[in-house]
Structure 1
Amino acid sequence: GFFSWFFILVPIILALLRLETIFAIYIAFLVAYWFMRTLKFVIGVAIGYRRFQKEIKVDWMAKIKKEYPKEFEKLKFTYLCPVYAESLDVLEPSFEAFASSNVGADKIDVVFAIEEKKADFQKKNFEYLKKRFGGRFRSMRYYVHPAGIPGEVAGVKGGNINWAARHYVKDIEAEGENIEEYLLVTCDSDLRPHEKYLSAVAYKYFENGKERDNYYYASALHTFKNNIWDVPHIIRVQSNMLTLVLLYTWVMDKKQAIPFKGEEVYIRDTFSSYIVNLKTLKKFKFWDPEIANDDTAFYCNAMVRSKGTFKSQEVYIPTYNDAVQNKTYWKSHVSYYKQQHRWGWGSINVPTTYAALAHEKGEFPFWRKLIIFKYLFETQIWNLSIAFVLTFGLALMGIINPSYNFTVYAYNLAQLMSVVFTIITLLNIPLIIYRRKLLSVPEEWKWWRHILDFAEIIFITINMLTFGFIPYIQAKTELMLGLTSFKRNFYVTEKVKKNNQESS
C-alpha cells in the first residue's frame, strides 16, 4: 500500500520539491514504457490468435491415442466445482460442457464443494445433477465446508476448495487410488470448457515428460462468452480486455530468462481456472484458506516451495465463463466493484511472498528470487499507478508548481503525450478486430451497432481510472493500515442469468 501510494503521489512530491527535470524524465519514461507495452500487447494478441487457429483444428485425442495410449489409459480428471448460491441455470450448462469433453466423461470425477450456509439448497442441486449426469461421469460426490472455521477468510472460494480437495484426496487414497494419476481442474462454477480443452491439456501434460507434475496447466483463452453481450458496457469492455491481457501474457510474459545463467523462471501466475496434478497439489499443501486471493496465492506458494522451479503450460483452447452480472444495471456495477476490491486484496500475497523469499536459503538462488520479486512488484504495485500518473501528472505538476507551465518540459511533454496516445488509441483498433475474431458478435446487430462496438475503446480508459483503479487502491490502503484482522469477510460475486434478471 505504501509503495502504491508513493508512485501515485510522485507528481505531487516532485512538484512540491520543484524537481521539474526529474519529473519530466519520469513521465517520458512512463510514456515510452506504455507505448512499448501497448505495441507488445498487440503483437502478443496477434500471435496468440494464430496459435488458437492452429490448436483448435488439432485432433488431440488422436494424437494421444497414437503417442501416449498407455499413459492416457491411467489418467483421470477431477472436476472441482465450488458453489455458494448458484442456481441450476448456472450449474447445468457447466456440467453438460464437462460431460461433453472428448476425453470422455467416464474419465472425470466430480467433486461438488458446498458451503455450509447454503448446504440444503446445494444438496438438492447436487441430487438433480447426479440424477442427470451420474451415469456419464466416473463418479460424483460432495463435501460441505463448515462455516466459521477460525482464521479462514469468508466470501472467497479458497477455504471451500481447500476443504473439499483435502477430504477428496484422503478418501481416494483410502480407496487405494494413486493420486499421481489424477489431474484436478479448479475453476468457478460457471466455467464451461471447450470439448477439446481437457484433451489438449492431457497431451501437453504427457509431452512434458518427467517434469509434467511440476507444471500447472491452463487455457490461454479465458473468455466470458457465456453472457458477455448481456452485461453493462464497462463490464463487457473490462472482461474482453482481461481475455486479451491473459492471452498476451501467455504469449509474451510466460517466463523470464536469468541473464548469463541459461535458466528461465516462469512468472505467469495462476488465475481463476487451472489444472494441476493431485500429487503436486498435496505436496504444495493445497490452498491457504486464510488468504483472500486463492489463485495468486497458490502460484506464490508453489514458487516458494519449489525453489522457483514451478512452471506453467498453456493451451490455446478456450474456456467460457460468466462476466459479472446481477439483477439490475446498478447492482451489476456494485457487484463488479466488490469483485475488483476482492481482487485488490490479492496484493496481500506480496509481503507474505517477500517474507518467504527472504527466509528461504540454500537451493533457492538469489536470481530466481529477484525475478519473482520484480514480477510481483510490477504487477501488484507499480502498474497500478501508471494510468493515473499519465492522465493527471502534468496537470498536478502545473497546479502545484505554476512555474512549471512556463518551462520547455511542459510544452514538449504535452506534445509527446498527444502524439503517443493518439498512436496508442489507434493500436486499440487491431485489438478489437482480434477480439471480434475470438468472440463473435451477435448476428442480429445492425451496422451502427458494429460501429459502436469499436467506439467502446473509450471505456478502456474510463475503466482503468475507475473500476480498474479505485477498488484496488482501496484494498491496498486497507492492507497498509493493518485492517487484515477486520477484513475476514468478502462479498461473494453473485452469478445471475439474464432470464433471472429483474427489469432495470
Structure 2
Amino acid sequence: MIINKNYYYYRLLEILPGFLVWTTLIGAVILSFWQPIIAIYFIILFDLYWFLRISYSLIYLIISWRKYQSEIKIDWQKELDYRHINYQQYEHLIFLPTYKEPLEVIAKTFDNLIAVKYSLKKMTIILGGEERDKENFLNISAIINERYGQYFKKLIITVHPQNVAGELPGKGSNMHYAGQQAKLYVDQQGWPHERVIVSCFDIDTHVHPQYFAYLTMQYATVDRPTHYSYQPLAFYHNNMWESNFITRVVANSTTFWLLTDLARPERLFTFSSHSMSFDTLVKVGFWQNDIVTEDSRIFLQCFIYYNGDYQVKPMYIPVSMNTVYMGKFWRSLINQYKQMRRWAWGVEHFPYMAWNFARNKKIPLVKKIRYLWNQTEGVYSWATAPLLIFIMGKLPLWVASKNIQELYIAQQAPYILKFLMSISMVGLFLTGFLATKILPPKPQKYHWAKYLIMFFQWLIFPITMIIFGSLPATDAQTRMMLGGRFKLGFWVTEKKD
C-alpha cells in the first residue's frame, strides 16, 4: 500500500495515461477548428504511420501463423520420448478459479483435461471457489470430484474466504489463496519447487491435446526455466459458431493481436491462461490479491524480482475459451464491453512499472524504457488511434472554411485517406481468411454458407475497434485518472451453460 507523500506521486502516475488520452482527443477537436490545415496534414501523416505499422504487424502475424501451423502437427509426447527427456520428474499444478459458473461449464473443462495426451497422474488440479458462493461451489465441486477425481494425482478444493482486509474480491485474490494452499500440499509431497510447473486457466479454458507435452518440452529444454512464463495462443472457439458476428470479430481480434505479439517476445506479457514455474510463483508471493489484472501483473512481479532477467516464452499451441455470447444479443454486447474494459484496466500496470522501475537500479535501463514504452504507447493507442483514424480524421475537412477547402491538400486529403484505407483492407481480408482457417469444425446444424459470414463479418472491424476498443479503453483510463469510487473492481465474465 502506497502511503504518505508517496501516495501523491503514485496518484500522479495513475492520472497520466488518462490525461494523455483526453489531451489528445480534446486537442484534436480544438486543432480541427483552430488550424484545420495543420490538422489535415497531421491526420494524413497519422494514417500513413498506422498503415505502415499495420503492414509491419502483418509480417509478424504471418511468421506466427506459420509457426502455429508447424507446431500443432507434432506429437509432442512422442518427441519427449524420442529426445529421452526425463519428463516424469515434473509435476503439473493446474489452477482453475471459479465463481458462480454453472456445473456444465466446469464439467466441459474437466472433460477436456482428461482427454489430453499426457499422463494425468502427473497433474494436480486446484479448483478454487469463493466463500461468497460457498454452498453452490461445494455442491458443484463434490460432483466434479466424484466424476473426475480418480483421473488425476490429486484434486484439491479450496474456498477463498471473503472480506479479507486489503484484498480486492476477484480472480487474483482467489488464486493467491489457492496458491498458498497448493504450497502446503507441494511441500507435504516433498516436490522440489523448480520441478513443479504451474498452469493458471480461466474456468472455461480448453487446452489443446498436446498442451502439457508441449509445455513440458519447453520447460525441460530452455535454459533456466524458472526465469520464464509460458504463454499459449488464446482462441475463443468453445462457442464460436453459436456467437453473434460482433462478439466473434472482437474475440478473434484478441487472438490475432496475441498471435502477432508471440513473434515479438520482447513485447509479451502473460495474458489470461498461462504457465510458469512454481518456484518463481512462490518467490514473488503468488498472484497479487488486490488488483483486477493479475494475469499480466504476475509477469511484472517476476520481472522485477529477477531484476529484469525474466521474459515470456511464446507457445504456439492454443488454448480455447468462451466468447461472451450469452444467447441474447444486447446482453452479450454489454458483457463484451465490460470484458474489454476489464482488459483495458491493464493500464494499472503503468504506475506499478514506473514506481518499481524507479526504485530498482539493477534492471537494465534499456529494458525499463522498452517495457514502459510498450505499455504506455499500447494503452494510449488502444484508446486514441481508432477515434483519430475513423472519426477525428474527417472533422477538419468538415469544419474548414471555404478558402481552406479550396486548397490542393484539402481537396486531395479524402482521396489519400481513402487510398490508405483501401490498401489496409488487404490486411483485413487476410485476417478474415486466417480466422476462417482456424475455426473449429462446423456443427451439422449450420449451413456451409455460414463460412461466408465468418469471412465477411470482418467488414465491421472498424466499428468494433471504436465501440469495443477505443471506448472501453478510454473508459478504463478515465476511471483510473479519477480514482476513488470510479476505480474498477473485478467483473466475472458470465458463462453460458
User: TM-score, normalized by length of structure 1?
Assistant: 0.90
1:77 corresponds to: 92
Give the alignment partner of residue 150 of structure 1, picking from 153, 162, 165: 165
Structure 1 residues 32 and 308: CA distance shift in structure 2, 3 A: farther
Deviations 1:76-111 (A, max 9, x none): 101100010111211112112222222211110010
Structure 1 residues 446 and 133: CA distance shift in structure 2, 3 A: closer
Structure 1 residues 128 and 447: CA distance shift in structure 2, 3 A: closer
1:196 corresponds to: 210
User: In structure 2, the residue corresponding to 1:466 is in which secondary structure?
Assistant: helix
**Per-residue deviation at 1:160?**
0.5
Return 5+ residue gaps in structure 1 as ranges: 256-266, 498-504
User: In structure 2, the residue corresponding to 1:86 is in which secondary structure?
Assistant: coil
Matches within 5 A, 1:157-236: 157-209=171-223, 211-220=224-233, 222-236=234-248
User: In structure 2, the residue corresponding to 1:110 is in which secondary structure?
Assistant: strand
User: In structure 2, the residue corresponding to 1:36 is in which secondary structure?
Assistant: helix
**Per-residue deviation at 1:299?**
2.0
1:6 corresponds to: 23
Structure 1 residues 300 and 25: CA distance shift in structure 2, 3 A: farther
**Per-residue deviation at 1:147?**
1.4
User: In structure 2, the residue corresponding to 1:2 is in which secondary structure?
Assistant: helix
C-alpha separation in 2, matches of 1:40 and 1:188 = 32
Which is further off, 198-207 or 408-417?
408-417
Structure 1 residues 120 and 219: CA distance shift in structure 2, 3 A: same
2:9 corresponds to: none
Amino acid in the other structure paired with 2:351: P
1:386 corresponds to: 385
1:39 corresponds to: 55
C-alpha separation in 1, matches of 2:448 and 2:161 = 53
**Per-residue deviation at 1:327?**
4.8
1:279 corresponds to: 279
C-alpha separation in 2, matches of 1:104 and 1:448 = 40
Amino acid in the other structure paired with 2:154: S
Paired residues of 2:382 and 2:469 also in contact (CA < 8 A): no
Paired residues of 1:28 and 1:413 also in contact (CA < 8 A): yes
Paired residues of 1:45 and 1:434 also in contact (CA < 8 A): no
Give the alignment partner of residue 141 of structure 2, picking from 126, 129, 136: 126
Which is further off, 488-497 or 464-473?
488-497
User: In structure 2, the residue corresponding to 1:44 is in which secondary structure?
Assistant: helix
C-alpha separation in 2, matches of 1:194 and 1:174 = 31
User: In structure 2, the residue corresponding to 1:312 is in which secondary structure?
Assistant: strand
Amino acid in the other structure paired with 1:254: P
C-alpha separation in 2, matches of 1:393 and 1:240 = 26
Paired residues of 1:51 and 1:316 also in contact (CA < 8 A): yes
The count of residues paired between Structure 1 and Structure 2 equals: 478
C-alpha separation in 2, matches of 1:25 and 1:320 = 43
1:474 corresponds to: 475
Paired residues of 1:335 and 1:494 also in contact (CA < 8 A): yes
**Per-residue deviation at 1:323?**
0.6
1:259 corresponds to: none
C-alpha separation in 2, matches of 1:286 and 1:345 = 20
C-alpha separation in 1, matches of 2:67 and 2:387 = 34
Amino acid in the other structure paired with 1:342: R
**Per-residue deviation at 1:440?**
4.2
User: TM-score, normalized by length of structure 2?
Assistant: 0.91
Amino acid in the other structure paired with 2:265: K
1:62 corresponds to: 78
Amino acid in the other structure paired with 1:301: Q
Percent identical residues? 24
Matches within 5 A, 1:251-262: 251=263, 253-255=264-266
Deviations 1:332-374 (A, max 9, x none): 122222222222222111112111111221x222111110111
2:256 corresponds to: 244
Amino acid in the other structure paired with 2:347: S
C-alpha separation in 2, matches of 1:164 and 1:199 = 24
User: In structure 2, the residue corresponding to 1:316 is in which secondary structure?
Assistant: strand
**Per-residue deviation at 1:448?**
4.4
1:344 aligns with 2:383: no
Return 5+ residue gaps in structure 2 as ranges: 1-17
Paired residues of 2:21 and 2:383 also in contact (CA < 8 A): yes
C-alpha separation in 2, matches of 1:48 and 1:476 = 30
Structure 1 residues 25 and 287: CA distance shift in structure 2, 3 A: farther
Amino acid in the other structure paired with 1:195: P
Which is further off, 271-280 or 309-318?
309-318
Paired residues of 1:112 and 1:142 also in contact (CA < 8 A): yes
Over the residues paired in the alignment, what is the CA RMSD in angstroms?
Answer: 2.0
